[in-house]
Amino acid sequence: MAITGKQRSRRIDRNYTSSQDPSILWKRWFGWAGLILGGLYGLWLLTPSAAKQLSTGTLSKAHHAWNETGCDQCHAPWSPINTTSFARSPEVIADNNRRCNDCHKMADHYPGATEHSLLALESCVQCHHEHLGINHNLLDIADESCVRCHADLAKFVIDANRPLSKVTSFDSTNGIPGHPHFQGLVRDPGTIQFSHTQHLRPGQALRPGDLSAKTWDSLPLAFQDQYQKPKKGSDPIQLTCSDCHERDHPIAGFETLEGPNATSATNSLGRQTNAHVLYKPIEFSKHCEACHQLDLPHKLDFKDKNQLLDIVATSQQQRLARSERLQSTSNPSESSVDEENRLRIAGTASGQDLIGLIKQNNPLAKTEIFKTYACSKCHQPATDLAFNNNLESIVAPSSLPTQWLKKASFSHGPHINIQCDECHKIRLDSNDLSLGNLASDVLIDGIQGCQKCHIVDEAKRREAQVDGVKIIARADCIDCHRYHDHGPQGTATGSGQTGLGQTVTQGSTGTASP
């Protein structure tokens, strides 16, 4: 009993379109509901109480409290805080930077060398990105932040004629040179004569197999506990790096290695950090005297002449006594005062009356002391030693840097799992004593030594893994360098502190001088 389409159509009221389909009504109602709900929510968003809703992401821990207090703490309304935005201007950036500087007194980046107009366009948020979650590290600065300028510094510095390195990466990639050689290692400022090679040989022998090796038994009793005893006391003593080099701070997590009272370095928040874990200066009395005993105190006071006379006279008497004992065993005879003076004078390096020179305030006295008491074994004489009687020290400053990489903040802390000789190369089988004959020789091959493990390029990383390199690390600029950390005292606008609350000290803090 099928019916045709025409029959079917005739069952429909011609005015059916005047009736409302429920789906159309629902659409209309939902549309209005969306409009009203969206409008109400939008209006509420314009009120201060809704500030948290507008945040584009949770603030990091440092600024977390401001998640609740609104945007105006950091943002100036209608002023783009992002330096890449289309409406940036030096005034707007300066205003935004001022809001950061209200709390963070940070130094500018080489204000004396950088083009001021370009420096004015540098914003804090250019490197420190916020709204990336509570666990985002604001100090995790991308290399691009540095490379942006350092790829071609000539555009950014005032004196474009000065030699400038173009740095795009730590290691060279695709023919583009990487980080330049460490300038801090180019010139050795140290003056202490010292051979790491000799001192790390068994018994500190001059050459391999030398029979005059120092044994543990030959050490004074007071120093024996300081060094590890070999199997037999008559065996040559073997020094290790840590016998002389002590960390300035224990490495966080390894405090027990340094003793019960050791406390690791802390940052400005009081948290343990491995930043700037360096090594203390070498102390003669602690690290050298066990083997190198002096007739004079290591640090002589030249201000008090009488005390100096007493010390020198006593030391000459002791020398004479030792020589008399030697003579008495070979040629026992009584020595007169004249003979004693003769021997005393003969005992000096130049055959001069040292006591007399001191009494006369003769500048040659200091030269004579320097020569007679074997200061020259390790030290170089002070400048004008022979002419200037007012010198407080007869030796040149040791000038051993505590921080070799002066423009970086190298720390031994993260390298605790690496043996010293992985980076500090010593050829113990060499007969060449000139190798490493300065205490200041850090024995670093240069940046190539670092680039063995610190690899940026992915392809090179894979190659290194294939080659069996077990430790491969990143090499971000921020790992060693600090944007705000470019001087011991900072600039007029900053405190010179790094982001970790550490102040870098530079200068000569080498071994003590007599």
Partner 1 sequence: MLLARKMHLHYGPIALASLLIISGGVWQYSLGTKDSPATGSSPAGLVVGSIAAGIILFELLLWPRKRLRKHKLGRTKFWVAYHLWLGLACGPLAFIHSGFRFGGTFTTILMALLGLVLTSGVFGWVMQVFIPRWMLGNLPQETIPSQIDDVSLLSALENRQMLTVALGTKPPNTGKLVALEDQLSALKSGLSVSSMKYADATPGLDKSNAIVVGARQRRDPQRASFGQDLADDLNAADRIEIWKQYTLVIEPFLLKNIVPNSTRSTSRSPIGNLQRTQEWFKNLQASCSDSAYPILIALQSTVEERLQFDAQRMAHAWLHRWIAFHAGISVMLGVLLIVHIIQSLRYM
Binding residues (CB under 8 A) for partner 1: these are 1-4, 6-13, 15-16, 18-19, 21, 23, 26-27, 29-31, 33-35, 37-39, 41-42, 45-46, 52-58, 71, 75, 77-78, 80-82, 84-87, 126-127, 129, 131, 141-145, 148
Cα-Cα-Cα-Cα dihedral sign, residues 63, 67, 72, 77: positive
Under 8 Å between Cβ of 95 and 76: yes
Residue with Cβ nearer partner 1 (147 or 296): 147
Under 8 Å between Cβ of 474 and 456: yes
Residue with Cβ nearer partner 1 (16 or 259): 16
- Give the rounded distance of the alpha carbon of 114 from its chain centre: 24
The half-sphere exposure of 29 on its side-chain side, counting CA atoms within 13 A, is 7
Rounded to a whole number of angstroms, the minimum distance from the CB of residue 479 to partner 1 is 14
Residue with Cβ nearer partner 1 (118 or 433): 118
Rounded to a whole number of angstroms, the minimum distance from the CB of residue 373 to partner 1 is 59
Residue with Cβ nearer partner 1 (55 or 399): 55
Residue with Cβ nearer partner 1 (33 or 471): 33
Rounded to a whole number of angstroms, the minimum distance from the CB of residue 301 to partner 1 is 56
Q: CA 6, CA 9: separation in Å to the nearest integer? A: 5
Rounded to a whole number of angstroms, the minimum distance from the CB of residue 168 to partner 1 is 12
- Give the rounded distance of the alpha carbon of 185 from its chain centre: 14
Residue with Cβ nearer partner 1 (136 or 460): 136
Residue with Cβ nearer partner 1 (71 or 157): 71
Q: CA 204, CA 214: separation in Å to the nearest integer? A: 6
Burial classification of residue 273, based on how many CB atoms lie within 10 Å of its CB (0-12 exposed, 13-18 middle, 19 or more buried): buried
Under the phi-then-psi rule, with left for phi > 0, alpha for psi from -120 to 50, and beta for the rest, what region is 256?
alpha
Q: CA 316, CA 193: separation in Å to the nearest integer? A: 26
Under 8 Å between Cβ of 60 and 136: yes
Rounded to a whole number of angstroms, the minimum distance from the CB of residue 1 to partner 1 is 4
Burial classification of residue 485, based on how many CB atoms lie within 10 Å of its CB (0-12 exposed, 13-18 middle, 19 or more buried): buried
Rounded to a whole number of angstroms, the minimum distance from the CB of residue 80 to partner 1 is 4
Burial classification of residue 126, based on how many CB atoms lie within 10 Å of its CB (0-12 exposed, 13-18 middle, 19 or more buried): middle
Residue with Cβ nearer partner 1 (169 or 273): 169
The half-sphere exposure of 239 on its side-chain side, counting CA atoms within 13 A, is 23
Under 8 Å between Cβ of 268 and 103: no
Rounded to a whole number of angstroms, the minimum distance from the CB of residue 5 to partner 1 is 9
Detail the DSSP E strand segments found in 68-176.
Answer: none
Rounded to a whole number of angstroms, the minimum distance from the CB of residue 487 to partner 1 is 24
DSSP 134: T
Residue with Cβ nearer partner 1 (82 or 238): 82
Rounded to a whole number of angstroms, the minimum distance from the CB of residue 64 to partner 1 is 13
Residue with Cβ nearer partner 1 (312 or 478): 478
Rounded to a whole number of angstroms, the minimum distance from the CB of residue 482 to partner 1 is 16
Rounded to a whole number of angstroms, the minimum distance from the CB of residue 178 to partner 1 is 18
Which residues, listed in sequence order, are joined to residue 401 by a DSSP beta bridge? Answer: 508
Rounded to a whole number of angstroms, the minimum distance from the CB of residue 439 to partner 1 is 41
Residue with Cβ nearer partner 1 (54 or 326): 54
Place of tokens 């690496």: 418
Rounded to a whole number of angstroms, the minimum distance from the CB of residue 463 to partner 1 is 24
Burial classification of residue 405, based on how many CB atoms lie within 10 Å of its CB (0-12 exposed, 13-18 middle, 19 or more buried): middle
Residue with Cβ nearer partner 1 (12 or 222): 12
Residue with Cβ nearer partner 1 (85 or 193): 85
For the chain, how are helix, strand and coil distributed in percent, rounded to 5?
35, 5, 60
**Alpha-helix runs per DSSP H in 331-425:** 337-346, 354-359, 364-372, 420-423
Under the phi-then-psi rule, with left for phi > 0, alpha for psi from -120 to 50, and beta for the rest, what region is 396?
beta
- Give the rounded distance of the alpha carbon of 508 from its chain centre: 15
